[in-house]
């Protein structure tokens, strides 16, 4: 596992494609998660306001959150991939519910889709291993979260912050965001930290094209 350079990755929430959203409805685990979280994810005072706040079209900024704690990266996953996301501390109920639902879809997609696997193979790490390494925590209302990002992490490091807006993403787009973050865990950098890298929106489009088409 390559050493983390401790730069966060962010991107705005976008609308899920029909192909991505349809995957959420396939498979027993995804359906079970959907039913378990139904009450939290029904339209309500929070969900009804989705998209009404300030939006970032394609941010060039890279706010720097607190430095991640030092320590060894955790063990890699099995061929089947992790069954549940690893969470540090507590997450807001809506965010946790969306994470558990989208995590199952994302891992299943990475495991079964050869084109999606290829995104990780080019970085030298299996996709299921990247998801096994990921450790999710509440991003709260500072740093990237305060500027509209649904999620962020540190390149090459498993810590991945989830913002309140992640819980308001459509299920398919939440899975796209998780794969996007997993690519950063595997070592993919992005513009402008890497002058020749893809922008956040370009990486998300690549994930949609490679994994959900």
**pLDDT score, position 120:** 97
Interstrand relation of 8-11 and 86-87 (parallel, antiparallel or unpaired): unpaired
179 CB-near residues (< 8 Å, 6+ apart): 106, 109, 110, 116, 119, 127, 207, 211
**pLDDT score, position 59:** 36
Give, as one character, the DSSP assignment of residue 201: H
**pLDDT score, position 145:** 92
Instruction: Choose among 132, 120, 142, 136: nearest CA to 186.
Output: 120
**pLDDT score, position 60:** 35
Domain ranges of the chain: 8-41+73-211
**pLDDT score, position 186:** 95
For residue 87, give the 3-state DSSP assignment: strand
**pLDDT score, position 66:** 36
**pLDDT score, position 43:** 42
Query: Which of the residues in the chain have pLDDT under 50?
Result: 1-7, 10-30, 33, 42-78
**pLDDT score, position 97:** 97
> Which pair of structure tokens corresponds to residue 98?
């969306």
**pLDDT score, position 69:** 37
pLDDT, one tens digit per residue, over 49-59 is 333 333 333 33
């Amino acid at each position: 596992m390559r050493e983390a350079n401790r730069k966060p990755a962010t991107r705005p929430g976008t609308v899920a494609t029909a192909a991505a959203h349809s995957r959420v409805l396939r498979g027993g685990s995804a359906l079970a998660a959907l039913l378990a979280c139904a009450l939290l994810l029904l339209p309500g005072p929070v969900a009804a306001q989705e998209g009404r706040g300030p939006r970032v079209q394609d941010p060039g900024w890279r706010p720097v959150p607190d430095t991640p704690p030092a320590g060894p990266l955790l063990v890699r996953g099995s061929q089947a991939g992790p069954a549940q996301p690893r969470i540090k501390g507590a997450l807001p109920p809506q965010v946790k519910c969306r994470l558990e639902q989208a995590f199952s879809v994302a891992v299943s997609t990475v495991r079964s889709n050869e084109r999606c696997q290829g995104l990780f193979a080019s970085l030298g790490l299996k996709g299921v291993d990247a998801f096994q390494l990921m450790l999710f925590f509440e991003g709260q209302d500072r740093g990237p979260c305060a500027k509209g990002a649904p999620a962020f992490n540190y390149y090459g490091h498993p810590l991945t912050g989830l913002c309140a807006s992640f819980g308001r993403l459509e299920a398919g787009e939440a899975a796209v965001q998780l794969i996007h973050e997993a690519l950063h865990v595997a070592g993919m950098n992005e513009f402008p930290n890497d002058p020749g890298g893809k922008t956040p929106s370009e990486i998300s489009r690549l994930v949609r094209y490679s994994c959900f088409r």
